[in-house]
A and B are shown apart, each in its own frame.
Chain A
Amino acid sequence: MDTNAIAIVVMVVTFLYLGYQGVPVAFALIAGALLTTTLFTKISLPSIVGQMFNGINQLEFLAIPFFLLAGDMMTEANITARLIRFAQVLVGHLRSGLAHVVSVSSMLFAGISGSMTADVAAISTVVMPHMEEEGYDPAFSAALVASASTIAAMVPPSIMAIVYGAVGNVSIAGLFLGGATPGLMVGIGLMVYSYFLGPPGLRKRRATLSEMASAARLALLPLMSPIIIVGGVASGVFTPAEAGMIAVVYIIVVLLPLMARGHFRRLPRDFMEAAVLYALPMSAVASASAVGWLMAYLGAPDIVHGWIEAVAGDNRVIIMYLMVVVLTIAGDFLDGVPAIAIFMPIIVSLSHLGHIHPVHMGVLIIVSLAFGLITPPYGLILLLSSTLAGVSFARALRQAVPLYGVYFLVISVIIFFPDVVLWLPRLVIPTSVGCFPNPGGAGYICPP
């Protein structure tokens, strides 16, 4: 093993040791980078600390505080309950009705916050008690809520997509639109599983048209928020940060006065909480950027590139499956946001090797990392939902394993059919996936 490989191993082992000892991730990462730099390289330590700054000094990241603030305000003002009520009248009468409510609510709420954690917290507190009353196994509820919440990582305004786009220089609008279909597939897959194999729950009567109209009316204004975000970004009128800002302004100027006037007193606290909340993933990104930069310096992309090339050649499908394995394992030990910053040089190198479209690869990576958050041993999102459901992680895990089938299916579909990811960006913003205007006539010419 050459010195660079030893240095990489030392850095990874230091991070894992410190991380599992209980040192916060952001500090464990930078400690590993500083130690490795001192022992194995001639890089100056101020350069490593400077990389923390460079890692977050990107305009694309400006969107993240707004989406977190929007999600926080919607949850704290109890506006999300209207979305859940809307989901109830749509699918609550089906077999395993409340399980469908979880999936549909996650799809709706995912369009507001982009955060899986926020999704789990919001849906668990409202729906889980009703699921328990109807006889659902709390372990199944926890597994389902965790699985459904991963949709937030795939559909706009996914925070992982923003980080991936910013770090990898990939169109964020393309990732937003590219992730929508896989997100929808996961949601529908969970519904199909629940319908045929989930607990039956209590059969309820189908909502009347007037009940549906009433719920839709109440949910209409909150649902405008994702429409503003997606519409603004997709139309090219706003950058993701501006779309997020407009969503925040919309909530403060329209939603709160009409739906939760009393919440205005809490607004300063929302800002304080959101201000610290966005600093957390960003400080992890800052540290992970330094680690990713050092990994690239030490030649980690070339080493992994060599391993994967030896196994897969330039076969796109095998490369992508290997990346899924690597990223799912990484997601088991590391949060998705810093994992993206660390692995980006490797991802870029392998995308070139397999001639894989950056948006296609980006969506696959995001889905894999999201999946890693509900698999053991780390399974952070599953851990959170099992805590909120009051069951052990092991019990929730047993119920989650069959749901993994949905992810295997969606991941395979993404790998074998790139158009599942690329059709929507090509249709709405062709330039986001490398298409260019046809010089000889109408329409766009897109790379294969």
Chain B
Amino acid sequence: MPVARPRVTVRAMRHLKWPLLDPLERGLMVLCALLLVGFTLVEVADVVARNLRRPWLNANEFAAGFFVWGVFLGMGVAVRRDQHFRLTAIAQTLRGARRTLVESFNRLVILAVALSMVVFGYRNYLTGYGSFLMPSLTPIAVLYAAIPVAGALIALFTVEELVNGWRHGFEGPEKVGLDPGQLPVT
């Protein structure tokens, strides 16, 4: 009997997702993994080069680049996967109009934050051309760019859930209780 391969894309709350965005989520997960691999290889190369007494001066720039982009892209994709940590899941205990109201309010707050990240992050990105990473003198804008990109992803995935929630309702087959994958890493 063929064994079903576990899917990379999120399976929960499918009624709030557009299948069209599944490839984007998958691509982002792969990209995040590649950033982590790249980050690991940079650290390996840094240690090896240092022990060969030929230090790689740019190693920290590359590591910081992989790390910062990994954090902000991960922040974006975690919105679609609903992995961000919440203090409560009050909305999931509600039904009907109250549920729609609370779920909509929460997502509108996230959307406002996401748009702030896009607008103000973009302004930071532009000013980032005046500061440089040492020793390569690469504009720090290459790192600042991660914030508006993450903001755009968060906005996209939030709009996806808002539109589908308003069309199909936010209620769905949801599991009760805590999943270690949805808790902060403390």
List the interface of chain A (C-beta within 8 A of B).
Answer: 18-28, 30-31, 34, 45-46, 48-50, 52-53, 56-57, 59, 61-62, 64-66, 68-69, 115-118, 120-121, 153, 159-160, 238, 241-242, 245-246, 248-249, 268-269, 271-284, 286, 333, 335-337, 370, 373, 378, 380-381, 383-384, 387
Closest Cβ–Cβ distance, residue B74 to chain A (whole Å): 2
Q: Write out the residue numbers on chain A whose beta carbons fall within 8 Å of the beta carbon of B86.
A: 19, 22-25
Contact bitstring B1-39, A, C-beta under 8 A = 1, else 0: 000001010000000000000000000011011011101
- With A26-B75, A31-B109, A62-B67 known as contacts, the answer to whether A284 contacts B90 (CB < 8 A) is no
Q: Is B77 an interface residue (CB 8 A)?
A: yes
Say yes or no: A49 contacts B120, CB within 8 Å: yes
Q: Is B137 an interface residue (CB 8 A)?
A: no
Q: Write out the residue numbers on chain A whose beta carbons fall within 8 Å of the beta carbon of B183.
A: 117, 380, 384
What are 27 pairs between A and B in contact, CB < 8 Å?
Answer: A19-B87, A22-B86, A22-B90, A23-B110, A24-B84, A26-B75, A52-B147, A56-B67, A57-B143, A62-B39, A118-B180, A245-B47, A269-B6, A271-B37, A272-B30, A275-B33, A275-B70, A278-B71, A278-B185, A279-B71, A279-B78, A280-B75, A280-B78, A281-B186, A283-B74, A378-B87, A387-B178
Say yes or no: B74 contacts A281, CB within 8 Å: no
Interface class of chain A by DSSP: helix
Q: Write out the residue numbers on chain B whose beta carbons fall within 8 Å of the beta carbon of A21.
A: 88, 90-91, 102, 105-106
Interface class of chain B by DSSP: helix
List the interface of chain B (C-beta within 8 A of A).
Answer: 6, 8, 29-30, 32-33, 35-37, 39-40, 43-44, 46-47, 60, 63-64, 67-68, 70-75, 77-79, 81, 83-92, 102, 105-106, 109-110, 112-113, 116-117, 120-121, 123-124, 127, 143-144, 146-147, 177-178, 180-181, 183-186
Say yes or no: B29 contacts A59, CB within 8 Å: no
Say yes or no: A383 contacts B178, CB within 8 Å: yes
Taking CB as reference atom, which chain B residue is nearest A121?
A: B180
Say yes or no: A115 contacts B185, CB within 8 Å: yes
Instruction: Give the contacting residue for A268; candidates B33, B46, B63, B113; CB below 8 A.
Output: B33
Q: Write out the residue numbers on chain A whose beta carbons fall within 8 Å of the beta carbon of B29.
A: 272, 275-276
Say yes or no: A49 contacts B121, CB within 8 Å: yes
Q: How far is the CA of A29 from the CA of B177 in the complex (A)?
A: 24
Say yes or no: A65 contacts B36, CB within 8 Å: yes
Instruction: Give the contacting residue for B84; candidates A18, A20, A26; CB below 8 A.
Output: A26
Q: Write out the residue numbers on chain A whose beta carbons fall within 8 Å of the beta carbon of B39.
A: 62, 65
Instruction: Give the contacting residue for A279; candidates B6, B75, B89; CB below 8 A.
Output: B75
Q: Write out the residue numbers on chain B whose beta carbons fall within 8 Å of the beta carbon of A268.
A: 33
